[in-house]
Amino acid sequence: MAVEGGMKCVKFLLFFFNFIFWICGLVLIVLGVMVQVVVYKTPVIKDVSSSAAPIVIIIIGAVIFLVSFFGCCGAWKENYCMVTMFAIFISIIILAEIATAIAAYVFRGKLTDLVDTGFKDMISQYQKNNTEAKKSLDELQQELKCCGAVNYTDWALFKPDRNSVPDSCCINVTVDCGTNAMSTHKNIFTKGCQAAFEDLLKSKILWIAVGALIIAFIEVLGLVFSCMLMRGIRSGYEVM
């Protein structure tokens, strides 16, 4: 016989939640890609690959994207085996998301050392006329509206006059605008790039952690509904 009453409601709720899971999968993929882009678009942080949080988030998003379709089919057809497998997959995903959120939060605490080391190396390479370093750091200083690692005084050895900064430190960039600009520093950015970059990266990682936990909470509801439907099917409901 076809499902009736409460079980029919649970069936459609599970179907609806699987649609939400599908959207959640897309959201996780986008969030993971956002952090990866911020991390790897500049060589400031060389050891950031030691944290797999963004990569794990992308993988989880892709898995959710596929599993949600599997769950929709199981709920619609009231197939006990498919619903059971869906419940198992969702349980694993929830645990992985919680672990990833914790890893992302822990990674936030390591940013200071990583960014400090990366910026010092970048400034050193810049002063040695490393083309790649100059291009990356110039773009970063303009994008984040910052100058130097801690602040603009990190460029004290940039030129023999000890009073100049790269032109990318200027609020309005023109040729040689950074020459003799340190003494007045009214036309250059004074905030250090280390703090600016940390704030940017922390905000992205914080969104990853919050997003993963919120989605895990939603998935718990889906897990409850799938268990209820499994019990109903096992009690004698027929496949529609």
Residues 15, 96 within the same domain? yes
Is residue 126 within 8 Å of residue 167, measured between CB atoms? no
Q: 11 with 97, same domain?
A: yes
Closest to 90 measured CA to CA, from 110, 74, 111: 74
pLDDT tens figures, 179-198: 988 888 888 998 888 888 77
pLDDT of amino acid 52: 58
Residue 156 covered by a domain? yes
What's the mean pLDDT in 30-34? 78
Tell me what percent of the residues of the chain surpass a pLDDT of 90: 5
How far is Cα 198 from Cα 190, in angstroms, rounded to an integer?
A: 16
| C-alpha dist (Å) from residue 162 to 136, 154, 178 | 23, 10, 11
Same domain assignment for residues 24 and 89: yes
Q: What's the whole-number mean pLDDT along residues 56-60?
A: 77
Q: How far is CA 118 from the centre of its chain?
A: 20
Per-residue pLDDT, averaged over 74-93, amounts to 81
CA separation for the pair 71, 90 (Å, rounded): 9
Length of the chain, in residues: 240
CATH of the domain at 153: 1.10.1450.10
Let me know if residue 239 belongs to a domain. Answer: no
- Indicate if the pLDDT at residue 199 is higher than 50: yes
Same domain, 23 and 130: no
At 114 the pLDDT is 66
Distance CA 167, CA 149 (A): 15
- 113-168 confidence digits (pLDDT tens): 666 677 778 888 887 888 887 888 888 889 889 998 888 888 888 888 888 999 99
In a domain, 180, yes or no: yes
Please indicate, yes or no, whether residues 173 and 230 belong to a single structural domain of this protein: no
Query: For residues 102 and 98, what is the distance between their CA atoms, to the nearest angstrom?
Result: 6
Is residue 99, in this structure, part of any structural domain at all? yes
Do 79 and 154 belong together in one domain? no
Q: Answer yes or no: is pLDDT of 170 > 90.
A: yes
Q: What percent of the chain has pLDDT over 70?
A: 80
- How many domains, the chain? 2
What pTM does this model have? Answer: 0.53
Determine the structural domain holding residue 57 and report its residue range. 5-110+202-234
Residues 12, 89, single domain; the answer is: yes
Question: Same domain for 99 and 161?
Answer: no
Residue 240 falls inside a structural domain: no
pLDDT value of position 47: 47
